[in-house]
Structure 1
Amino acid sequence: MPHTLDGSIDVVLDVYHGSDISLADAKSAGVLAVIHKASEGATVQDAKYAKRRHEARGLGLLWGAYHYASGMPVQLQVSNFLDAVQWGADSGLDENTLLCLDFEPSHSGPDMSFHDVCTFVSMVREKTGRWPMIYGGALLRETFAAANPSCDAAKCPLWYARYNDKPVGIPGLWPKFALWQYTDGANGPQPRNINDGHFDRSCFVGTSTELKQQWPLFKQ
């Protein structure tokens, strides 16, 4: 667990196609859950998503998918995300897959707006029956600092990124975080690596049993 947060377990990794990771090694190191990039913007889909999902299921790891936000039309982004995770093709997979909007500065063009964040999560809810998790750090703090708690983003569990000794600065829209990404592999408290590889690592406050019970919904 992070050396700074008592009662937490350091068991969640998030990865994408560029991550050089052995999921078997990650499991041996105590990782229980993997949240993998599935899509970005309106057209990009992660080429390793499906293969790693199959591998993770075989290892008994909890599985999640995130969409990296952009300023492209929201409807196109939601369609791209759900197509990338193959939503509706396998109800068993759907039931156990955590869904997440990664709200960070866009890799191409303008960032997703506050309004579009709310629209994105509402559309995902409409199409899947659940509120997705929202991931974010600095941009999230800036964008949601004065947000009205009645907005739909408040209904989404928070995956908070803050590479600090403590998860400080959480916007008041959320009373608590579901997951805390405490390191990007270079910044933040220890531990940061697995077999000399540095990864984005996140913790959950609770036990492994409680994590499994709450996955993939983390109700607010």
Structure 2
Amino acid sequence: MKPVFIAALALIEGARASVQGFDVSHYQSSVNFAAAYSSGARFVIIKATEGTTYIDPTFSSKYTAATSAGFIRGGYHFAHPGETTGAAQADYFTAHGGGWSGDGITLPGMLDLESSSSSQCWGLSTTSMVAWIKAFSDRYHSTTGRFPMLYTNPSWWSTCTGNSNAFVSTNPLVLARYASSPGTIPGGWPYQTIWQNADTYTYGGDSDIFNGAMTGLVQLATG
């Protein structure tokens, strides 16, 4: 089953179903995973790597704590497009926490695509950006058997990829939009798989909403 269609299973089960989750990094020095789980959250995405030189120093401890608390969990990679190849960054990610296993509790890795402090599109043309993302995605897929989730916001995707629809049939969309609804979905995706709906969450990090029922979330972590 191609990953982007996994959410369809959940939508069929219940059009209004959703599952609360969140994402964290070293910026959250302490996270009470047990309390978050008790509150109803069921998944968490944890920063693992950035570029080809940075490993989040809190990744391992957070990943272990999330697992112990019963979460479906996974890692994410903050992309530095153009600094090194997409394939090189995918390799770095999988080597330092970004792997995947069809065990029902491990999410596909997430590629975090957003601006740097100095460059919105990292100095790449829209064509080069799409090629870079594809190189990362293809290498991750060849290594793990899954395509990574792609995290982006509508403005960045439109500006930096030309609103490319090249990933609709392969990569689940994690949509960042801080509003009361997801709004217009970029890139030709029919819907988002996960919606980052706020940049604050009670137990730390950002709030994420899986677009479907718990069975669909488990399927996303199973393949």
> What's the counterpart of residue 97 of structure 2?
85
Return the offset for 1:157.
0.5
Counterparts of 2:46 and 2:19, CA distance in 1: 17
Match of 1:73, SS? Answer: coil
> What's the counterpart of residue 176 of structure 2?
161
Return the offset for 1:129.
1.2
Is 1:142 aligned to 2:152, yes or no? no
Structure 2 length-normalised TM: 0.78
Counterparts of 2:79 and 2:210, CA distance in 1: 24
**Preserved CA contact (<8 Å) 1:70 1:107:** no
Return the offset for 1:165.
1.7
Tell me which moved more, 204-213 or 67-76. 204-213
Instruction: State the identity %.
Output: 29
> What's the counterpart of residue 64 of structure 2?
54
Which residue among 103, 109, 117 is the counterpart of 1:99?
109
**Preserved CA contact (<8 Å) 2:19 2:212:** no
Return the offset for 1:119.
1.2
Counterparts of 1:12 and 1:115, CA distance in 2: 30
Which residue among 4, 16, 20 is the counterpart of 1:7?
16
Give ranges in structure 1 of 5+ residues lacking alignment: 1-5, 186-191
* Deviations 1:31-73, CA, capped at 9 Å, x for gaps: 1001000000111011111111111111111011110011321
Return the offset for 1:144.
3.7
Which residue among 111, 114, 117 is the counterpart of 2:130?
114
For residue 142 of structure 1, what is the amino acid of its counterpart? T
For residue 159 of structure 2, what is the amino acid of its counterpart? E
Tell me which moved more, 66-75 or 128-137. 66-75
The structure richer in strand per residue is 1
Return the offset for 1:135.
0.4
**Preserved CA contact (<8 Å) 1:118 1:153:** no
Is 1:31 aligned to 2:37, yes or no? no
The Cα RMSD (Å) is: 2.6
For residue 77 of structure 1, what is the amino acid of its counterpart? Q
Return the offset for 1:95.
7.5
**Preserved CA contact (<8 Å) 2:25 2:56:** yes
Cα distance, 1:9–1:94 mapped onto 2, change above 3 Å = closer
Tell me which moved more, 164-173 or 94-103. 94-103
Match of 1:165, SS? Answer: coil
> What's the counterpart of residue 3 of structure 2?
none
Counterparts of 2:19 and 2:105, CA distance in 1: 24
Cα distance, 1:86–1:103 mapped onto 2, change above 3 Å = closer
Match of 1:96, SS? Answer: coil
Structure 1 length-normalised TM: 0.79
Counterparts of 1:79 and 1:8, CA distance in 2: 35
For residue 208 of structure 2, what is the amino acid of its counterpart? S
Q: Which runs of 4+ in 1 moved over 3 A?
A: 91-95, 107-110
Return the offset for 1:193.
2.5
Return the offset for 1:152.
4.4
For residue 210 of structure 1, what is the amino acid of its counterpart? G
Return the offset for 1:116.
0.7
